[in-house]
Structure 1
Amino acid sequence: MVGAGLLALGLSACSQDDTLAKQARAGDNKNYVGGDGTVTEFAKDQRKGTKDFTGVLFDGAQVSEKDLVGSVTILNFWFASCAPCRLEAPELVKLHTEFAPKGVKFYGVNVRDEKATAEAFEKSFGITYPSFNDKDGQVLLAMAGIVPPNSVPATLVLDKQGRVSARVVGELEGGTMRTLIQTVLAE
């Protein structure tokens, strides 16, 4: 009897709704699970570096995790038909304009699109920083355990050692992102 009660309690806990589970069951054909805007900051002694990777930008240049060391770096995971990605694009352009002169590197990580689609998106929103062509998932896999694999958009702030200092899962808010960047720049 006690075992049956514990089993029922355990199963009821599994059936509780959370926002990601609701999205997965929605059947709305958007083909991604959007984050909820959760912001996570990591203390210096809790930060993880990325796994080794070499990604290819849409212009053909190769970038590895070693190229990210020495500068604060922003990695934004996106694709063109993602509605929250379209909403946050103008904020990313503003942040890039503000922080690139201070040495902050910005990279998009496009997880789905062909080159022409990605370039059209970037032209529409005035994005001038480069994006990885990550349809093969190399950059995303290097962030395993840091970026949920099906949550787009997601944005990482890497410190000058190439470690993740902050993560936003879902559409970013410009003021919050500005603070996250300023914090790690001041270190």
Structure 2
Amino acid sequence: MTTRRRLGPAVFASGLVALALILTGCASDPLAEQYREGSNKGYIAGDGSVTEIAEANRSNPVSFEGVTEHGKTVTSADYAGQVIVVNFWYAGCAPCRAEAPDLQKLNDEFEGAGASFLGVNVRDQAANAIAFNETYSVTYPSVMDVDGGSMQLAFSGSIPPNAVPTTLVVDGQGRVAARILGQVSSPSILETLIRDTIAEGK
């Protein structure tokens, strides 16, 4: 049986102060700004900015393992040698719902053509993820990461805390090559990032 304890007011307040101090040090960070605004969105959305990382500057390959909404285990080894588009999302996130059709369209375009899509659901249980997929006709799998957070931890160098959605393009060596922080509002940009990353391995 799981026991949950409430933090005392003093402990909770001190935690908020510490977080505020951390965020104050990042005054130009739009995520920090959204936190301070207290918009109560339930998520912190990115601004749609695109970051590309030159091959020579990419960090080490990311190793991951997780279980999808249908109970299948997936690992980074399953995607060895191919580009992966990793999208962090959850069902209650409005930008996630807005971008879902565009991501699925790109998934269809690149299926069998050098790139695979993999979702990472950061908040829901499997039933919610499956219902979302049915609503938006999403066919690629998602790792259910709400309990352990292992996927978020594996990609922590590329994903700001609480920035949902975030989409990463991972190269054939397992290194993050590009990031879209926030909703994929221009599918053509993501398509170009994917094509450029695939071309690197040719």
Q: TM-score, normalised by structure 1?
A: 0.87
Query: Matches of 2:177 and 2:28 in 1, distance apart?
Result: 29
Aligned pairs, how many? Answer: 175
Alpha carbons of 1:60 and 1:14: their partners in 2 closer, same or farther (altered >3 Å)?
A: closer
Residue 134 of structure 1 corresponds to: 145
Encode CA deviations 1:74-93: one digit per residue, 9 max, x unaligned: 10000001011111111101
What is the CA distance between 1:144 and its match in structure 2?
1.2
- Per mean C-alpha deviation after superposition, the further-off stretch among 102-111 and 50-59 is 50-59
The one-letter code of the counterpart of 2:173 is: Q
Does the 8 Å CA contact 1:47/1:165 hold for their aligned counterparts?
A: yes
Residue 5 of structure 1 corresponds to: none
Residue 130 of structure 2 corresponds to: 119
Does the 8 Å CA contact 1:50/1:65 hold for their aligned counterparts?
A: no
1:7-18 alignment runs, 5 A limit: 14=25, 16=27, 18=29
Encode CA deviations 1:133-158: one digit per residue, 9 max, x unaligned: 01121001001111112100000101
Query: Matches of 1:57 and 1:81 in 2, distance apart?
Result: 18
What is the CA distance between 1:167 and its match in structure 2?
0.6
The one-letter code of the counterpart of 1:149 is: P
Residue 14 of structure 2 corresponds to: none
Residue 175 of structure 1 corresponds to: 188
Name stretches of at least 5 consecutive residues in structure 1 with no aligned partner. Answer: 1-12
Q: TM-score, normalised by structure 2?
A: 0.81
Query: Matches of 1:92 and 1:104 in 2, distance apart?
Result: 12
3-state DSSP of counterpart to 1:186: helix
* RMSD after superposition: 1.7
Does the 8 Å CA contact 2:163/2:181 hold for their aligned counterparts?
A: yes
The structure 1 residue matched to 2:114, chosen from 77, 100, 103, is: 103
Query: Matches of 1:15 and 1:71 in 2, distance apart?
Result: 35
Query: Matches of 1:59 and 1:92 in 2, distance apart?
Result: 20
Encode CA deviations 1:92-129: one digit per residue, 9 max, x unaligned: 01100111130311100000001111111111111000
Query: Matches of 1:54 and 1:24 in 2, distance apart?
Result: 31
Q: Give identity over the alignment, percent.
A: 48
What is the CA distance between 1:67 and its match in structure 2?
2.2
What is the CA distance between 1:55 and its match in structure 2?
0.9
The one-letter code of the counterpart of 2:176 is: V
Query: Matches of 1:112 and 1:139 in 2, distance apart?
Result: 12
What is the CA distance between 1:48 and its match in structure 2?
1.8
